Chains A and B, each alone.
Chain A
Amino acid sequence: MPTVSASFWMVLPVVLPLAGGLLCFLWRQRSLWLPLAFALVNLIVVIRLTRLLLIQGPLHYQIGGWETPLGIVLVLDGPALLMLLLTALCGAGVTCYARGYFAYRISAQKQPGRHERQERFFWPLWLMLLAALNGLFLSGDIFNIYVTLELLSISAVALAALSGKPVAQLASFRYLLASLLGSLSYLLGIFFIYRSHGVLDLGLLRAVVEPGSSMTAGLVLMSCGLLLKSAAFPLHFWLPPAHANALAPVSAILSGLVIKGSLYLLFRFWFDTFASLISPAALNVIGMLGILAVFWGGILALLQQRLKLLVAYSTVSQVGYFLIAFPLAYHDATLSVWTAFLFMILAHGCAKVAMFMAAGTMYLHSGHDRMRDLHGIRLVMPLTVFAYGMAGVNLMGLPPSGGFVGKWLLLTGAFDDGQWWWSVAIMAGGLLAAAYVFRVMSPLFQAPVGASIFDGRPTPALLEWPPLVLSLIALLLGLFAPGIMALLTANGGAVISGGLP
């Protein structure tokens, strides 16, 4: 039985950032230390939860003491904890980076008022988003998940619109519509499910799920909503402009963390809660969409002239990888595919955050992100370019990165199942990733031509170190595998915790 202190720690990842967001909003001064403190405390709380999980196994907490089906329950198991850890880690990195980012822009003396205003809005929204994301990973019932999804979308859209440029506003408006449509579809799905069984709790649902038209309809609707929110091909149209035109820390958050929320839910629903409804045909459809996404995103990334757009399209391509994991997980929805999926999510999360931050720093220095004209920037900011490269290694899936481990597990899974054809797409996607990563690296390695076009100011440490640290974490993730496996198997061997103990 979890002690009082255990449940207390579980609520904190939601309550703390929420409180922080409100405080930042109320405290109209630019509150420099406040968000940083909250992000760091969040990280500490999650680390504490990790220890609790390792000692006690999966944790459950009924909010207000109300029991299901009436009350809301928070559940923390291995996968959820890893997602929390990813969010906390990247969150801390982004918070530091955003500090440096806004300070740099304000001190540039070009429209300082505008940048200050942006910063004031950024902090409450970002902390709100953090709370929503943590809540999403912890929630144990589908309606509560809907609430967190909605909160997530609203704050994400507001953040995307923050840059204020017309193109960003248009992009975020599209993002808003896509998000709302996704939420609506998800809500409709809940309606079907609730109508047929009258329960919302994931654990209870899993026990009562049986093939039937209304249950299937509910799952299809929910999945469509989540696919739209995850920008799965062909529902990805909103992602590249929204991610590429946002402010650098916002791009990092959107690409690295926000879409992971809906992807994680999708995987969780399909292989845990509603696993008995899933047919191989449906999985193959998802897998095919994944293959198309890998190629479509990769090829379009290759064609871009602007760095941030390239990184955004690479996200579309990487989402495809997560989808390819679905058909491979069918025969063996156990440890290895969960591991592969989570490894890829973790690696891609850290790497993408780092990549967008690095791209943002280059943007800050040069005032643009046209790749052709970035030559010689390596001499100005070696660490940033190095971070970009290391993050790229992850996307290519080269060792010892987390992406490599994920890919290896997927490949062996594919061969094990006799579904070797997926492997071709997995490898080809890796090569495409290599092509578009090095399309950027190549001009970066070029010797400078003519006078330096870059802002002569030195890069502040806050802009330089967070991407570097995150990209190194992603790069060395493969070596942390034993620790991650220990977390996943904290439940006495099974990855996913059932309902209430």
Chain B
Amino acid sequence: MNGSGWLLVLIMLSSFVPGIIIFGLPEDRVRLRTTLNLCGSLIKIGLIVVLNVGIYLGYSYEIRLPLVAGMEVYLHADPLSALFTTLSSVLWLLTTIYAVGYLEDSPNRSHFFGYFSLCVTVTIGIALAGNLITFILFYEMLTLSTYPLIVHRGTPQSLRAGRNYLVYTLGGGALFFLAAAWLQVLTGPMDFGSDGFASHLVVEHGPLLSLLFVLLIAGVGVKAALVPLHGWLPQAMIAPAPVSALLHAVAVVKAGAFGIVRIVLDVYGLENMIVLGLLPLLTFVATLTILWGSFRALQQDDLKRRLAFSTISQISYIGLGISLADHRLALIGGLVHLVHQGIMKITLFFCAGNLAETLGVHRISEMRGIARRMPWTMGAFTVGALGMIGLPPTAGFVSKWFLGLGALSASNWVVVAVLMLSSLLNAAYFLPILITAWFDRPVGPWPDEKNFGRFETRLMLLCPPLLTAAVVLLIGVLAEAQISPLAWVRFIVEGYLP
């Protein structure tokens, strides 16, 4: 059954058009800008609900624009892209609300929100890309549209962070582009979702295909912050909190992880991956990243930097799950973590932003007793942190449970050990924060306290983390419900491992 491909175009336009209009708005049209943003994201969510229902009922949505021979822009929605679009657009709505509150009275907001909308548009483009060319198209555009956000403050540190970001991502992009061109010459133009390229190529070009796989993974691995390509992420923490949220949960890192999933499942295909023997390689990189990220997180005192290293570690759970993709449970665990990690991490970043914005607190050593001053924020933070550790009944528990079961069914004891060790490490760097926040006595005044009347902070800053924290609990408790990320992921996996 065919749905209209124009639905996909509309989904992209719903953030693109507001973005373009916002670029032209004068600084002081706050109300109009906010209205545009919120309308855009609500329309987008509405359209995506339609898309999800359509996909579930078995409609297929696609639209093609051939450019030159062998080059075609192809948008296509499958269950996997629906997962990513839903995640991005819902989190975009929350981040926008948060950003409106966060950036009140700061300069250059038209620019900020304009690029913000562009970022989400191209992220949706990445999700809907139906072939490698289209994927590259949006993947590189994502690099360009996030750069102005990272350097938004215009300070020397942020410019340095931006430069680093570019060095990593453009370099990775170049590798990816090179490998994709080579692959296309070998395999011919290829759409995602066709179980990878023909298996006879594996016999003819085995080593070359392995090399190209490494290049492709290095290309997306930069954005997914795989060790040793992760250096830009902690530095980019200099950007405003909504941007961090965007980088870590909505767009950039997620796009990288999503790219890994696409390459393994749709470009190479599971069978070819197994024949080429490339899955253990991915397992190795993923476990290395998980452990290294956690170790480094332990050493950070700056809250946002600790969260950044935690992202590096957590995002590789997705890669880990994919690398055991021949085992259904592990694949489910990896894919569902795409959603769970996003919601948990965005909660943590919202909270960290609240602390910085309300009290001027940036370091963990300054957080003594902070929960007495901001109980709601720290409540949300606690839920997010417990989720990261993987305690029931949070969402994080669900993904780790499935990953663990998958590793067991693969009898891969190293992975089981890494999962356990990593949970310990997560606890080791999150629990001290919770303990000092809830149980220590505050010493002296806060570095830069602002008062917001009835609530502990601005309402627009408080609501988004509370909401996401509630969702973290909800999708953990109701994981087996009819409508939950887990249920949708099972639906996705049906397509790959029937």
Encoded as 1 (CB less than 8 Å from any B CB) or 0, chain A from 357 to 391 comes to 00000000000000000010001001000000000
Chain A: residues with Cβ within 8 Å of the partner, total of: 35
- Residue B68 contacts which of A339, A393, A430 (CB distance < 8 angstroms)? A339
Check if A335 sits within 8 Å of B67, measured CB to CB: no
- Residue A427 contacts which of B68, B69, B166, B178 (CB distance < 8 angstroms)? B178
A447 an interface residue at 8 Å Cβ cutoff?
yes
A398 an interface residue at 8 Å Cβ cutoff?
yes
Within B134-150, the residues touching A (CB, 8 Å) are: 136-138, 140-141, 143-144, 148
A154 an interface residue at 8 Å Cβ cutoff?
no
Instruction: Using known A-B contacts A335-B69, A398-B141, determine if residue A423 contacts B174 with beta carbons closer than 8 Å.
Output: no
- Residue A423 contacts which of B141, B151, B166, B181 (CB distance < 8 angstroms)? B181
A406 nearest CB neighbor, chain B only: B68
Q: How far is the CA of A321 from the CA of B259 in the complex (A)?
A: 30
Q: How far is the CA of A339 from the CA of B68 in the complex (A)?
A: 9
Q: How many whole Å from A430's CB to the nearest CB in chain B? A: 6
Q: How far is the CA of A398 from the CA of B122 in the complex (A)?
A: 14
Q: How far is the CA of A379 from the CA of B108 in the complex (A)?
A: 8
Q: How many whole Å from B310's CB to the nearest CB in chain A? A: 29
Check if B66 sits within 8 Å of A399, measured CB to CB: no
A194 an interface residue at 8 Å Cβ cutoff?
no
Q: How many whole Å from A316's CB to the nearest CB in chain B? A: 21
Check if B71 sits within 8 Å of A430, measured CB to CB: no
Check if B174 sits within 8 Å of A431, measured CB to CB: yes
For A393, A407, A481, which residue has the most chain B Cβ atoms within 10 angstroms? Answer: A481
For A336, A446, A479, A485, which residue has the most chain B Cβ atoms within 10 angstroms? Answer: A446
Check if A412 sits within 8 Å of B185, measured CB to CB: yes
Q: How far is the CA of A479 from the CA of B134 in the complex (A)?
A: 12
Complex interface: chain A residues within 8 A of B67 (CB): 405, 478-479, 481-482
- The stretch that binds A, out of B93-101, B155-163, B385-393, B483-491, is B155-163
- Residue B184 contacts which of A336, A412, A478, A481 (CB distance < 8 angstroms)? A412
Check if B141 sits within 8 Å of A481, measured CB to CB: no
A9 an interface residue at 8 Å Cβ cutoff?
no
Q: How many whole Å from A468's CB to the nearest CB in chain B? A: 12
B70 an interface residue at 8 Å Cβ cutoff?
yes
Check if A447 sits within 8 Å of B68, measured CB to CB: no
B306 an interface residue at 8 Å Cβ cutoff?
no
B206 an interface residue at 8 Å Cβ cutoff?
no
Instruction: Using known A-B contacts A400-B137, A485-B68, determine if residue A434 contacts B170 with beta carbons closer than 8 Å.
Output: yes
Complex interface: chain A residues within 8 A of B166 (CB): 434, 438
Instruction: Using known A-B contacts A445-B148, A446-B159, determine if residue A411 contacts B69 with beta carbons closer than 8 Å.
Output: no
Instruction: Using known A-B contacts A398-B144, A431-B171, determine if residue A423 contacts B178 with beta carbons closer than 8 Å.
Output: yes
- Residue A442 contacts which of B140, B141, B163, B186 (CB distance < 8 angstroms)? B163
Q: How far is the CA of A54 from the CA of B137 in the complex (A)?
A: 30
Q: How far is the CA of A175 from the CA of B285 in the complex (A)?
A: 55
- Residue A446 contacts which of B143, B154, B185 (CB distance < 8 angstroms)? B154
Instruction: Using known A-B contacts A412-B70, A445-B162, determine if residue A382 contacts B182 with beta carbons closer than 8 Å.
Output: no
A409 an interface residue at 8 Å Cβ cutoff?
yes
For A335, A339, A393, A400, which residue has the most chain B Cβ atoms within 10 angstroms? Answer: A400
Q: How many whole Å from A247's CB to the nearest CB in chain B? A: 30
B134 nearest CB neighbor, chain A only: A399
A27 an interface residue at 8 Å Cβ cutoff?
no
B153 an interface residue at 8 Å Cβ cutoff?
yes
A465 an interface residue at 8 Å Cβ cutoff?
no
Q: How far is the CA of A430 from the CA of B148 in the complex (A)?
A: 20
Complex interface: chain A residues within 8 A of B57 (CB): none
Q: How far is the CA of A411 from the CA of B140 in the complex (A)?
A: 17
Q: How far is the CA of A438 from the CA of B150 in the complex (A)?
A: 14
Q: How far is the CA of A328 from the CA of B387 in the complex (A)?
A: 54
B197 an interface residue at 8 Å Cβ cutoff?
no
Complex interface: chain B residues within 8 A of A430 (CB): 174
How would you classify the secondary structure of chain A's contact residues: helix, strand, loop or mixed? helix
Instruction: Using known A-B contacts A399-B137, A427-B178, determine if residue A445 contacts B171 with beta carbons closer than 8 Å.
Output: no
Q: How far is the CA of A339 from the CA of B154 in the complex (A)?
A: 40
B65 an interface residue at 8 Å Cβ cutoff?
yes
A455 an interface residue at 8 Å Cβ cutoff?
no
Complex interface: chain A residues within 8 A of B340 (CB): none
Check if B178 sits within 8 Å of A442, measured CB to CB: no
Check if B163 sits within 8 Å of A438, measured CB to CB: yes
Check if A420 sits within 8 Å of B162, measured CB to CB: no
Encoded as 1 (CB less than 8 Å from any B CB) or 0, chain A from 331 to 342 comes to 000011001000
Check if A415 sits within 8 Å of B181, measured CB to CB: yes
Q: How far is the CA of A423 from the CA of B177 in the complex (A)?
A: 10
Complex interface: chain A residues within 8 A of B173 (CB): 398
Instruction: Using known A-B contacts A398-B144, A479-B65, determine if residue A427 contacts B177 with beta carbons closer than 8 Å.
Output: yes
Encoded as 1 (CB less than 8 Å from any B CB) or 0, chain A from 234 to 245 comes to 000000000000
Check if B71 sits within 8 Å of A481, measured CB to CB: yes
Q: How far is the CA of A254 from the CA of B248 in the complex (A)?
A: 45
Encoded as 1 (CB less than 8 Å from any B CB) or 0, chain A from 259 to 287 comes to 00000000000000000000000000000
Complex interface: chain B residues within 8 A of A396 (CB): 170
Complex interface: chain A residues within 8 A of B73 (CB): 479
A67 an interface residue at 8 Å Cβ cutoff?
no
Instruction: Using known A-B contacts A399-B141, A431-B170, determine if residue A336 contacts B69 with beta carbons closer than 8 Å.
Output: yes
Check if B185 sits within 8 Å of A416, measured CB to CB: yes
Complex interface: chain B residues within 8 A of A407 (CB): 177
- Residue A420 contacts which of B111, B155, B182 (CB distance < 8 angstroms)? B182
Q: How far is the CA of A431 from the CA of B65 in the complex (A)?
A: 28
Q: How far is the CA of A396 from the CA of B154 in the complex (A)?
A: 23
Q: How far is the CA of A435 from the CA of B65 in the complex (A)?
A: 31
A121 an interface residue at 8 Å Cβ cutoff?
no
Q: How many whole Å from A336's CB to the nearest CB in chain B? A: 6
Check if A408 sits within 8 Å of B137, measured CB to CB: no
Q: How far is the CA of A430 from the CA of B65 in the complex (A)?
A: 26
Complex interface: chain A residues within 8 A of B143 (CB): 398
Check if A409 sits within 8 Å of B140, measured CB to CB: no
Complex interface: chain A residues within 8 A of B66 (CB): 482
A399 nearest CB neighbor, chain B only: B137
Encoded as 1 (CB less than 8 Å from any A CB) or 0, chain B from 108 to 143 comes to 100100000000000000000000010011101101
Within B162-220, the residues touching A (CB, 8 Å) are: 162-163, 166, 170-171, 173-175, 177-178, 181-182, 184-186
Q: How far is the CA of A423 from the CA of B183 in the complex (A)?
A: 13
Encoded as 1 (CB less than 8 Å from any B CB) or 0, chain A from 186 to 223 comes to 00000000000000000000000000000000000000
Check if A408 sits within 8 Å of B71, measured CB to CB: yes
Check if A405 sits within 8 Å of B151, measured CB to CB: no
Q: How far is the CA of A445 from the CA of B156 in the complex (A)?
A: 10
- Residue B140 contacts which of A399, A420, A481 (CB distance < 8 angstroms)? A399
For A393, A442, A478, which residue has the most chain B Cβ atoms within 10 angstroms? Answer: A442
Complex interface: chain A residues within 8 A of B144 (CB): 393, 398
Complex interface: chain B residues within 8 A of A399 (CB): 136-138, 140-141
A415 nearest CB neighbor, chain B only: B185
Q: How far is the CA of A396 from the CA of B141 in the complex (A)?
A: 12
Q: How far is the CA of A416 from the CA of B70 in the complex (A)?
A: 12
Complex interface: chain B residues within 8 A of A427 (CB): 174-175, 177-178
Encoded as 1 (CB less than 8 Å from any A CB) or 0, chain B from 75 to 99 comes to 0000000000000000000000000
Complex interface: chain B residues within 8 A of A445 (CB): 148, 151, 154, 159, 162
Q: How far is the CA of A446 from the CA of B161 in the complex (A)?
A: 12
Taking Cβ atoms with an 8 Å cutoff, the residues of A that contact B are 335-336, 339, 375, 379, 382, 393, 396, 398-400, 405, 407-409, 411-412, 415-416, 420, 423, 427, 430-431, 434, 438, 442, 445-447, 478-479, 481-482, 485
Given contacts A442-B151, A478-B67, 6 further A-B contacts (CB under 8 A): A336-B68, A409-B71, A415-B182, A415-B185, A442-B159, A447-B153
Chosen A-B contacts, 6 in total, with CB atoms closer than 8 Å, are: A399-B141, A405-B67, A408-B177, A412-B185, A427-B178, A479-B65
- Those 4 A-B pairs whose CB atoms lie nearest each other, nearest first: A447-B154, A481-B67, A411-B181, A415-B185
